[in-house]
Structure 1
């Protein structure tokens, strides 16, 4: 791992996992200076009696592997357990103006926050304050906001907060008088939460780990398993090696985890050249070409069915399932038959023969799993992207049978769970009547601000305060320059955090940092260790127990901080036992069960079940909780030629933002990206060689990327190094969050408001110093 100023570019041809992964884990433990303590913690990661990973949300098996963690999960653990501290002495040495010049990596590398801090305008430093003083000042500021103006306060939640803390947090916001509860789901998988209720009647996926043992084919769309959910490679490797299951991938970039894998826990694969080829077909579609590609799959399937029927052979689509369980197929069929292959090929960037080959795999399979990630959801048509995957599965009857279903892969470790326990800006998704019954108050009924709405309010100076339960909101959101300018004008910013980030050093006119325990640390309340819970990507609820001593005795847990904030903000609140909840999290789980008895039945009795307990997913039993009472085919409102994958101006490229393998969300562990062969820098623009030549650029040239829209706002990111890469013509890739300044606030998914970070139109020009 390197963080020097000498970038290196060396193509990486090795599999995901293997010795590269082991070396990276060892280096992460050394960098955090916890080689022994870190290894001891990793032995209990994602296991019964241990802690749920603070990184990805992939499922935790009932019978875990000896090492039930991946390279990125190990880095996240080491990053949290570091022996570095950012306490009062650190802040006395650095003004916030200075810290603003630090990189994301260097800010977090300063170490764990240890005491509550407030910004001192006179010295431009964070200075230590007592917990009681901080809560009283925050409470006084929020109480001063008139009830009719409390929609000017935002309660943001990142995806790491536990079910217990999240439930308390949403209740605090609603008791205060607002549904302003944006969260990280708004930035990534809200397209799923909008799309699937319309098609399948559920807001989450239908696949469990067991389904991977029974599937006949797996299709990937816009998901980078090697970086986003590496533990899934165990299921993929088993499918390939033990049952020769085909895996068909659609991704603009060839990601190493979907090409080949060497299992670090396999002596054979570690001591020999043996690896597992993951994808049996890999289709590098054009950025934004997903609707066209999936339309091509569906059309090829329909035409293959026509030919089979003419020959008197078995049908290629499940007509019995379609007739009994679905609505709208006739209209969807008519849409498909009106599509032209030349439009599909042009917009997807894939040949008809390639799509027909993939469709043939789909047609032969009795049970198909479709896996997707933010490569589908973070587009202008992200909701429709997801619904096209659903359409494809419904054509084959691949929902509600073993080994089949739709599998959205969530990134953050409890982002799905937060939504389950009420973190939502949409009042129709929150159990407001039940909250009223349980706690004796009238919850607000108006729609709250989502992430885009909160950014607009910050930009326009319409907020009184921003409260953040974890995360790095300012760095994660679009329209960086305008939102950051508005952020500085906020009357109050409050951040509950474990480490320093840019959302802290850029601050409101009054600012507080409240340091919390990490999930890996033992959480003792009144001397009794507490347990929290999380929900994984497949809808299973798990217990999580801290295993390490806290970084400082002065830290408080997230539930304790939320409870203290509630008491300071709301005053005497006889309807809610905040103090009891903060002392005993089992009582919070009882409250969660009382609010959602069908989902959390016998919560305290069941959440320690190895592998967790599963929330009800009616679509798995072919019960369709939709207005039609059936699963719905969704007919696109535009032909593939109008989906916008191919820019009309040949000088405009489609940019997708990506993460490196040394990164989790906005947390950057090092400047390396081993899988892409990039070391010591993140200031790169990955381009097709033909585009580099066509645009008059050269490898290594320093360029400026500017957003190719004319809306009166200039957006650009400079100092990017032109780097040839295996990416389709007309496409480019750059790192998140460095490229966020290029993303307009209005450039988001229709219907879900997820920022469309995977398809930003850009132009590229050389920096003056790079001109010949």
Structure 2
């Protein structure tokens, strides 16, 4: 394997850019919007990335093991694998193949690369090109005032971490961030180390994607997870998809929806944008997906306004109540309501204050479409509601999760075959992280079990989530940040504020497989610790190991790498945590860290004792397909303990989304060539955008009304908290989107999302609800901000 020879100029220490460099390529191309997802273009795109990464042979070999029994779990989304037969051709999607290509790459980022390339100059590259540099091969260290990362031994790296942690006045001056890629085993020892060190400061990626789902579901149904299996998706009579674009965010979900359609099911899509993945699907595993027109997925599309979902949901409920009056006992499940719920009478009283026309105006969906949607679900029982971050990143997202629950409670469509709730998680083990107690506010019961097993006092003071951690770092209350994977800078809101906070850290530590912008905006000192990817062989004491993950539907399964790592100087995440623990806490600590360092089985034995549902863990995780974790809401129709194991109806409010004449509502989204903060390419072919990312999708009437034209260059402004935030140099793209609504890509517009613009209760960034103003591009604005 050859070193990646990228070489940029060697410059003196300067403050590196916090954001993608603000440039337009000059070759932006806009084509027609696609009506179908997947198909042959997806197959070709998958293999194109393997060729680009110089990994066609080894990557193709690995693809045949991805998501297969006895193979490795895709590091991309958390969509479940089939319990029964799996396609031998392609049990993965395009983005999964692209993720694998970047793991299988033969390009390397070595100590020599860092010697040639200063941090400041690397930050002048955009995120796409930073990500394409290759795999990290050795631990590196950036000293205070240094311009270059330099090699450091593993022992010295752990001594450096321990030195900083020992110097803190309190354990709460440290925080430990987690990415969803981290395995169950590494997550368990990681949270155990943080508690042994003495803090619950464990912000994680859940705090930015589905914390809202857990906050809405845990108090009402007793579990912060979904209540369906993959087979339920196939058996549903109606699937309602709200605020989610499966064609890009969870492409294998399209296969499940296609099976649902084949079984006679109907699909309702609710989204401001008519996405290709919601409209049609060409299955590359089937002949008709190759030579035919594919499957039309959505039977009904409801073009809701941004944050108009609440009004839409209440309109459906009101119509269902009207249908029930016309046909008593045939629409609502009165027995379920009486036996399994509470608060029904108070819930239905609220509808006296609403009328359908007003709700239609608030949500932006015509009354005829609302009636059609209500008719589709009125006389059906097996109903599943799925949602993504189009719901969870709204300021009232917790309320909307509970409003969707209200609908399935009315229908008795939870805890039955083919019915229930399905929050579609983004990252492959983000749900497993939380199950493994990666949580800034664990319950007393969880802490009691750990305390009983390990015999030391657990910290009880709730820690910082992501937003609170960023603020605490800014206020210098947190001085050491350890990041287990991810790219916190690019994922977080308020980019300039976040970057200024990170620069105040005394030490930033990042465990990573590849270089990203989060390594280039750093504390006074910084460490990058390279680790295995999910696809790599993980060999401990001469034996190839398995790790385990949990998917969106609560299945825990094994994952075993198949590729030789790009470097002999990598160690796995579990060993990184254990060596950090031994360096910090001492080798004679009450926890036998060396045992966990040497054996994943020993870690799983401890998990079995500390976390319910993992009995016979080592045996069951090796079974074909793994095992389901218990889910009382799904399996027994047992819900919130507070309500005698019934589920409460929740009364919510419709938000006021009034905008000033010169204001627009903006939601951030990802391109099809992107997974979270990882940029695979510069195209978004389903939306017809090629070779560029700095675009803003606008309604044609809004463009004309504001005196703009398609292709105009504009600057975007946000004024939350009385602060002017600017994202300059965007190109207007006309798109079928509700008036006064706009959509842009993240992380480019994260700079506009105030750190104080959060979801009530869950405290997540409300990145799908940002008030902006749009002005013609001003070169002076560009010059003022281009250094950021």
Question: TM-score with structure 1 length normalisation?
Answer: 0.96
Contact 1:299 1:337 in 2 (8 A): no
SS of the residue 1:427 aligns to:
coil
2:371 pairs, out of 353, 356, 362, with 356
Q: How far did 1:427 drift?
A: 3.1
Partner of 1:64: 86
**Superposition deviation, residue 5 in structure 1:** 4.7
Over residues 468-516 of structure 1, what are the superposed CA-to-partner deviations in whole Å (9 max), with x where a residue is unaligned? Answer: 0000001110111111112111111011000111110111001111000
Q: Which moved more, 1:458-467 or 1:519-528?
A: 458-467
Distance 1:637 1:398, change over 3 A: closer
- Find the aligned partners of 1:430 and 1:55 in 2 and give their Cα distance: 32
Please give the per-residue CA displacement for 1:708-731, whole angstroms capped at 9, x wherever unaligned: 43x232211011101101111110
1:647 equivalent in alignment to 2:673: no
Match of 1:730 among 698, 718, 740: 740
In 1, Cα distance between equivalents of 2:202 and 2:444: 12
2:49 corresponds in structure 1 to 28
Maintained 8 Å contact 2:383/2:413 = yes
Separation in structure 2 between the aligned mates of residue 17 and residue 430 of structure 1, nearest angstrom: 45
Q: How does 1:528-607 map to 2 (within 5 A)?
A: 528-596=543-611, 598-607=612-621
Q: Secondary structure at the match of 2:643?
A: coil
Q: Give the conservation status (yes or no) of the 8 Å contact 2:270–2:302.
A: yes
CA distance in 2, matches of 1:45, 1:635: 42
Q: Deviations over 1:651-693 (max 9, x none)?
A: 2111010111110000001111111110110000000000111
Which residue is 2:11 aligned to?
A: none
Contact residue 242 and residue 270 of structure 2 kept, 8 A? yes
CA distance, structure 2, for counterparts of residue 303 and residue 200 of structure 1: 26
Per the TM alignment, residue 14 of structure 1 is displaced from its structure 2 partner at its CA by 4.7
Gaps of 5+ in 2: 1-23, 782-788
TM-aligned CA deviation for residue 43 of structure 1: 0.2
8 Å CA contact retained: 1:685, 1:734: yes
Deviations 1:39-84 (CA, angstroms, capped at 9, x unpaired): 1101011111100000000111122112110111001100111111
1:693 to 698, 704, 723: 704
Shift of 1:361: 0.8
Aligned to 1:265: 285
Which stretch of the first structure deviates more once superposed, 182-191 or 314-323? 314-323
The answer for the alignment partner of 1:294 in structure 2 is: 313
Of residues 144, 151, 166, the one that matches 2:187 is: 166
Give the superposition deviation at 1:123.
4.5
Give the Cα–Cα distance (whole angstroms) in 1 for the partners of residues 549 and 131 of structure 2. Answer: 24
Give the corresponding residue for 1:458.
473
Name the SS for the 1:205 alignment partner. coil
CA-based RMSD of the aligned residues comes to 1.5
Query: CA 1:769–1:577 in 2, change beyond 3 Å: closer, same or farther?
Result: closer
> 610-619 vs 734-743, which deviates more?
610-619
The 8 Å contact of residues 34 and 687 in structure 2, kept in 1 or not, is answered as no
Match of 1:467 in 2: 482
Counterparts of 1:113-512 in structure 2, within 5 Å, are 113-121=136-144, 123-146=146-169, 149-240=170-261, 242-271=262-291, 273-309=292-328, 314-428=329-443, 431-512=446-527
Q: Is the counterpart of residue 754 in structure 1 residue 764 in structure 2?
A: yes
Kept in 2, the 8 Å contact 1:15–1:261? The answer is yes
1:430 to 1:536, Cα distance in 2 relative to 1, 3 A: farther
C-alpha separation in 2, matches of 1:357 and 1:626: 37
Residue matched to 1:608: 622
**Cα deviation digits, residues 8-50 of structure 1 (max 9, x gap):** 1111335211111011112111111111111110101111110
C-alpha deviation, 1:467, in angstroms: 0.3
Distance 2:144 2:475 in 1: 23
Tell me how far 1:637 sits from its aligned partner: 4.2
Match of residue 107, structure 1, among 130, 134, 159: 130
The question of 1:745 aligning with 2:782 is answered: no
Indicate yes or no: 2:642 matched with 1:619.
Answer: no
d(CA) in 2 for partners of 1:218, 1:636: 24
Change (3 A) 1:18 1:427: closer
Q: Is the 8 A contact 1:95 1:123 kept in 2?
A: no
CA gap of 1:14–1:363, structure 2 versus 1, over 3 A, is: closer
CA contact (8 A) 1:201 1:631 kept: no
Q: 1:704 to 1:429 in 2, by over 3 A?
A: farther
- Structure 1 residue 345: deviation in Å? 1.3
Which residue number in structure 1 is paired with residue 643 of structure 2? Answer: 628
Deviates more, 1:166-175 or 1:350-359: 350-359
CA distance in 1: counterparts of 2:780 and 2:41, whole angstroms: 35
Which of 24, 36, 41 is matched with 2:62 structurally? Answer: 41
User: Aligned partners of 1:222 and 1:677: how far apart in 2?
Assistant: 20
Offset of residue 337 of structure 1: 2.8
Partner Cα separation in structure 2 for residue 457 and residue 719 of structure 1 = 32
Compute the TM-score of the two structures, normalised by the length of structure 2: 0.94
Q: Go from structure 1 to structure 2 and tell me whether the alpha carbon gap of 1:96 and 1:770 turns closer, same or farther (over 3 Å shift).
A: closer
Q: Assess if the C-alpha contact under 8 Å between 1:652 and 1:708 holds in 2.
A: no
Cα drift, residue 274 of structure 1: 2.6
Please give the secondary structure, in 2, of the residue aligned with 1:732: strand
Please give the secondary structure, in 1, of the residue aligned with 2:722. Answer: coil
Deviation at 1:120, TM superposition (A): 3.4
- Residue 583 of structure 1 and its aligned partner are, at CA, apart by 1.2
Corresponding residue for residue 102 of structure 2 = 79
Contact 2:330 2:379 in 1 (8 A): no
Q: Which residue of 2 aligns with 1:525?
A: 540
How many residues are matched? 755
Higher mean C-alpha deviation, range 423-432 or range 262-271? 423-432
Superposition deviation, residue 92 in structure 1: 1.0
2:119 is aligned with 1:96? yes
Determine the C-alpha separation between the residues in 2 that align with 1:430 and 1:415. Answer: 21
Provide the secondary structure at the position in 1 that maps to 2:240: strand
3-state SS in 2 of match to 1:431: helix
Look up the SS of the partner of 2:149 in the other structure: strand
Q: CA deviation at 1:338?
A: 2.1
User: CA 1:264 to 1:637, structure 2 compared with 1: closer, same or farther past 3 Å?
Assistant: closer
Give 1:16's aligned residue.
37
In the alignment, is the contact (CA less than 8 A) between 2:640 and 2:647 conserved in 1?
no
Counterpart pick for 2:726 among 691, 716, 721 = 716
Paired with 1:484 and 1:497, the residues of 2 have a C-alpha distance of: 19
Partners of 2:569 and 2:210 in 1: how far apart? 35
1:682 aligned residue (674, 693, 700): 693
Q: Residues 626 and 7 of structure 1: is their aligned pair in 2 closer, same or farther, counting only changes over 3 Å?
A: same
Q: Tell me, what secondary structure is at the counterpart of 1:723?
A: strand
Cα distance in 1 between the residues matched to 2:652 and 2:286: 49
8 A Cα contact 2:384 2:419, kept in partner: yes
Q: Deviations over 1:529-587 (max 9, x none)?
A: 11100000000001000010011000010001011111111113442121111211011
